[in-house]
Chain A
């Protein structure tokens, strides 16, 4: 099995032009991040006395100086800095030697932004979590009164999820929101997955190898080896793309606070994840790789059914477009289809943004769990179908 797996993996990687496309798409992806998110590489500029200053690095310096645990001393210092900047800006005495930027208005704004952010973080436990738990307590009491077991369990789950949360440190975590909502690399991963899956069986049929392979006693092991090699390939390319994304975004935006709680990011204040940013990124990346692999499983089924690889690729591209349409545009009764759609895993961050549960036999289950289970069911169905067709068909094109 091990040898077959290695041979299949090598065969997959050595497909014509695959490495070329991987490099091309990786390059385009990184170029796209540079073009559209280049806060640092092409920073906001300010001209004074004929000299050009890049403001973004100066803002980063300010962030670095105030990073870490939020203390009264830091807050007082920031407020004093802001007031001094405002005084200079309003035409008062004082030069810009104590300022970070040559433009006091920028210092004033930057200091104001950091103060606001610190206050948001520091009061998170009382204002956000306090409000959620208070409202939840009322709903829980109501559920107990009317004996609604589902709502009672939901209230208990909310308590369990949100109790004990607090934030006490300031970092540039909000820049991570851009990283998590970035989707182009996932789209490229799906394209490469569909491309390589199309060749898995249809490619063998086209060059007449499949009947020969099916004559061998290793027919079943071969199938397993192909599937394992395909999963390894998709995972490897996924790791490559998502690591490159993180690196490029770090170069462009310089986020910090990798070990901060995920809910410290302003856009994910109500997130159900109680993990740090790195773990959250690993989790969402894993789900995206899984989503791409499951779509590839469906293309594998097309590959074993159809005589030509390009038929399988074309069908796979159309299937992917249809799955995207289902995931993005369905609602109402058809909205349930989204739970079986692997594309939902590709945009998995939406599943973690806020508290969303599904009523499963009276028990509240997190939506991401249901989506994961539904997608795995989709993949299992495709995989089983592929195996049944592979086992039965003669293998001629």
Chain B
């Protein structure tokens, strides 16, 4: 039966094609996002160069070298003038002057990137236990707490094609006449949907990390999660990779719960277009309208915002110029409540199965 249902959904209803198209869209989005100069508009080469040189634990030696570099940057104009004066007075040769000017030019052209690195270094050095990491890369990959719209679309399309379309063609009545059509078939469809959406969500997260790795050549997976500025107050004591995997797991659970929620919507509205609209609204409204309310983290789609649960119990300000917007943090009870709500939704969905299966 499972094989038949899988074939029906993925092959006959072209859901496999849709998923592949959405995966391609996800790759394009990751590449386009990572190729943009970023909203900060800073020099990424200079930033990456500094990160490569000084990444890892903050030591006294690194501190001294960095202070020297920052001194060069802050006084580049004066140093250039001094260099010219020394050259004119014969204290240095023309080659030495050219070398000095080339070094200073490197600092000046990379000024924006170095200043961004300086801010991150100031954060990392403010507390022991934090490491110097590629903050910008990890922010691009990880720090955004909005639910992935591609995953939403995949789930909503699945619900419509697997559940609601059958209501509209009255195929449901035929299903109900079969021995397994009352409960087992619906549960099979629901399980397929939950599993495939969770897997799709994991794939999307893996893609995002993969594209980030190709672009930034990351080495700091083992750095503490707190090294990334948005996780300043995180209660999670793991590493960056551990945090990312935790967020991925939460998103996968969220995707599975969202399938169950859409299944309930499908049973309530029984019209494909209405389910589509209701599904879209259930994503867009908490994400874009109710951002400042606590319910942002306890809606049916809240688990899909996996990263937000790792922020910690502190009110963070809106950061308009960053590539993401940080909203009010989840709070200590948000994760257990969200998990409970997700469990309730899945339970309701399976109960609906049972109810639909009941002969009138």
Q: Give chain A's interface residues, CB within 8 Å of chain B.
A: 16-17, 21, 24-25, 28, 31-32, 35-36, 184, 191, 195, 198-199, 206, 308-310, 313-314, 317
Complexed CA–CA distance, A17 and B275 (Å): 10
Which residues B277-299 have CB closer than 8 A to chain A?
Answer: 277, 280-281, 285, 288-290, 292-293
Q: Identify A317's interface contact among B168, B280, B292, B293, CB under 8 A.
A: B280
In the complex, chain B residues 252-295 whose Cβ is within 8 Å of any chain A Cβ? 269, 271-277, 280-281, 285, 288-290, 292-293
Contact A314 B274 (CB under 8 A): no
CA distance A21 to B280 in the complex (A): 12
> Which of B269, B285, B292 lies in contact with A36, CB distance below 8 A?
B292
| Chain A to chain B: the 3 pairs with minimum beta-carbon distance, closest first | A310-B272, A313-B273, A32-B289
Query: B330 an interface residue at 8 Å Cβ cutoff?
Result: no
Assess whether B48 is interfacial by the CB under 8 Å rule: no
Q: A309-B272, A310-B160, A310-B276 are in contact. List 7 more A-B contacts (CB 8 A).
A: A17-B271, A35-B293, A184-B289, A191-B281, A199-B273, A310-B272, A313-B273
* Distance to closest chain A CB from B357 (angstroms): 25
B157 near A: Cβ within 8 Å? yes
Alpha-carbon gap, A314 to B159, bound state (A): 13
Q: In this complex, what residue of A is CB-closest to B164?
A: A310
Contact A198 B292 (CB under 8 A): no
A308 to B289, CA, bound (A): 30
Closest to A321 in B: B149
Query: A28-B285, A206-B168, A314-B157 are contacts. A198–B273 as well, Cβ < 8 Å?
Result: yes
Between A28, A199, A310, A313, the greatest number of chain B beta carbons within 10 A of the residue's beta carbon is seen for: A310
Tell me what chain B mostly uses at the interface: helix, strand, loop, or mixed: helix
* Size of the chain B interface, CB-CB below 8 angstroms: 21
Are A191 and B289 in touch, CB under 8 angstroms?
Answer: no
User: Which chain B residues (12-27) contact chain A, with CB distance < 8 Å?
Assistant: none
A184 to B287, CA, bound (A): 13
A36 to B276, CA, bound (A): 28
* Smallest CB gap from A25: residue in B: B281
| CA–CA, A139 and B242, complex, Å | 62
CA distance A309 to B165 in the complex (A): 11
Residue in B closest to A314 when the chains form the complex, CB atoms: B276
**How far is it, in angstroms, between the C-alpha of A314 and the C-alpha of B158 when the chains are bound?**
12
The smallest C-beta distance from A184 to any residue of chain B, in angstroms, reads 7
Min CB–CB distance B262 → chain A (angstroms)? 13
A-chain residues with CB within 8 Å of residue B289 when the two chains form the complex: 28, 31-32, 184
CA A317 – CA B289 in complex, angstroms?
18
Give the Cβ gap from B292 to chain A, nearest Cβ, in Å: 6
* Contact call A195/B273, Cβ cutoff below 8 A: yes
- Inter-chain CA distance A161–B324, complex, in Å, is 40
- Least CB distance from A182 to B in Å reads 12
The one of A35, A184, A191 that contacts B292, using a Cβ cutoff of 8 Å: A35
Contacts A35-B290, A35-B293, A317-B280: A309 and B285 contacting too (C-beta < 8 A)? no
Task: List the A side residues contacting B157 at CB < 8 Å.
Answer: 314
Tell me how far the C-beta of A180 lies from the nearest C-beta in chain B, rounded to whole angstroms: 19
Question: Are A195 and B277 within 8 A (Cβ)?
Answer: yes
27 pairs of residues in contact across A and B, judged by CB atoms under 8 Å: A16-B269, A16-B271, A17-B271, A17-B274, A21-B277, A21-B281, A24-B281, A25-B281, A28-B285, A28-B289, A32-B290, A35-B290, A35-B292, A35-B293, A191-B277, A195-B277, A199-B273, A206-B168, A309-B273, A310-B164, A310-B165, A310-B275, A313-B276, A314-B157, A314-B276, A317-B276, A317-B280
**Could you tell me the distance between the alpha carbons of A195 and B292 in the complex, rounded to whole angstroms?**
28
Known A-B contacts A35-B290, A206-B168; the reply to A308 vs B272 at CB < 8 A is yes
Which chain B residue shows the least CB distance to A198?
B273
A199 to B280, CA, bound (A): 17
Q: A119 vs B326: C-alpha distance in the bound complex, in angstroms?
A: 38
CB of A38, distance to nearest CB on chain B (Å): 11
Q: How far is A17 from B272 in the complex, measured between Cα atoms in Å? A: 12
Q: Contacts of B272 on A, CB cut-off 8 Å?
A: 308-310, 313
Question: Which residues between 155 and 213 of chain B lie within 8 Å of chain A, taking CB atoms?
Answer: 157, 160, 164-165, 168
A residues near B165, Cβ cutoff 8 Å: 310
Chain B hits for A184, CB < 8 A: 288-289
Nearest-neighbour CB distance to chain A for B347, whole angstroms, equals 25
Whether the Cβ atoms of A191 and B273 lie closer than 8 Å is no
Q: Which residues of B contact A308 (CB under 8 A)?
A: 272
Given A35-B292, A35-B293, A36-B292: A310 and B280 interface contact (C-beta under 8 Å): no
Closest to B293 in A: A35
Query: Which A residues are CB-close (under 8 A) to B269?
Result: 16-17
Encoded as 1 (CB less than 8 Å from any A CB) or 0, chain B from 61 to 74 comes to 00000000000000
Query: Which one of A35, A36, A191, A206 lies within 8 Å of B280 (CB-CB)?
Result: A191
Which of A25, A32, A191 has most chain B Cβ within 10 Å? A32
Residues of B within 8 A of A317 (CB): 276, 280
CA distance A200 to B274 in the complex (A): 14
CB distance from A19 to the nearest CB of B (A): 12
Q: When chains A and B are docked, how far (Å) is the Cα of A317 from the Cα of B278?
A: 13
Give the CA-CA distance A31 to B157 in the complex, in Å.
Answer: 29
Q: Which residues of A contact B285 (CB under 8 A)?
A: 28
